[in-house]
Copies of this chain bind each other. A is one copy, B any other.
Amino acid sequence: MDYGYEQGRCLMDEITCIEAVLHDISEYVVDRYSQRDTLTVSTKASPTDFLTEVDIAVQRRIVEHLSAAYPSDILIAEESGLDSFKGSLPPRCWMIDPIDGTQNFLRGLFPEFGVSIGFLVDGKPVAGGVLFPVSQDLFLSECGSGAFRNGKRMKVSQVDRLQEARVDIDFGALSYRHEYRKHAQGLLEVVGQVRSYGCSVMGFFCQVADGQQDAYIPFNVKPWDVAAGILLVEEAGGGKVTAFNGDSVNPFLSERIGIVSNAPLHSKCVELLGWM
């Protein structure tokens, strides 16, 4: 398979490594997806928070590959149980989501699940990749070089009126929905098309980066959900990812995210979400 990452660019070792790892696990994931009825499945925090043997196996394979290539780097991965990081930011760190959208993997009508790998230096994402294995859609970016979908440069949309915008609003869990909805109310009244795809966080970072959606308002995301996504959006012609009040964020501050947008809509979203 040729993922067609653009020729002639100055590639970091890390982005080449990300592409190789995603390539490496692709066939396995597609094969297991086709036999998903036979998988061993358990649940995590809630009855709809699933864990399959595929999450574990994919994570193990990615961790093995990255540990061999960069033995001193810190690895943070969804299924390792570590979801926050105390102390000073590590100089080199990887964030891995082996299957984002496990519920969709198991039950979904459509293959909305992805594998995400982000590489951070001093807390800032500098290389990232997301692969949707069934459709073979590959999203790659490195800091300063743009963001690419299957080798084609991506650009966020230029929609600047909320009345014409397509915005994904994550309504989240019941435990915090009431508070969240109070803030989202203003946006719900003026956005042209409201979508809510729920668990496919990476998908909707990718949709904003590729201009298919104009903004995404997530809540309660985890570092591995956003490490590659933030870079993809920011490198796709200047998309923005901030806290609800417009403050800058990074994957280590994922609990404050926030607003993901094409940039022209960003200040309007900050104003309407009223999270000042």
Contacts and interface: CB of A to CB of B under 8 A. Distances in A.
Interface of A: 47-48, 107-112, 132, 135, 137, 163-164, 166, 169, 171, 173-174, 177-178, 181, 188-198, 203, 206-207, 210, 212
B107 A47 contact: no
B212 A190 contact: no
A189 to B, nearest CB: 7
B192 A195 contact: no
A253 B18 CA distance: 53
A260 B148 CA distance: 39
Given A164-B47, A193-B198, A110 B107 contact: no
Given A135-B110, A163-B174, A164-B47, A195 B193 contact: no
A206 B110 contact: no
B174 A207 contact: no
Interface centre among A109, A173, A174, A178 (most CB of B within 10 A): A109
Nearest to A170: B194
Interface centre among A108, A110, A135, A192 (most CB of B within 10 A): A110
Contacts of A181: 188-189
B137 A203 contact: no
Dominant secondary structure of chain A at its interface with chain B: mixed
B110 A203 contact: yes
Contacts of A188: 171, 177, 181
Contacts of A178: 189
A159 to B, nearest CB: 11
Interface centre among A177, A194, A206, A210 (most CB of B within 10 A): A194
B194 A195 contact: no
A174 B192 contact: yes
B164 A203 contact: no
B109 A206 contact: yes
A109 B171 contact: no
Contacts of A192: 48, 173-174
Given A48-B193, A188-B171, A108 B198 contact: no
Given A47-B164, A195-B197, A196-B195, A109 B210 contact: yes
A134 to B, nearest CB: 8
Given A164-B47, A181-B188, A188-B181, A109 B212 contact: yes
Nearest to A108: B212
A132 B137 CA distance: 18
A34 to B, nearest CB: 11
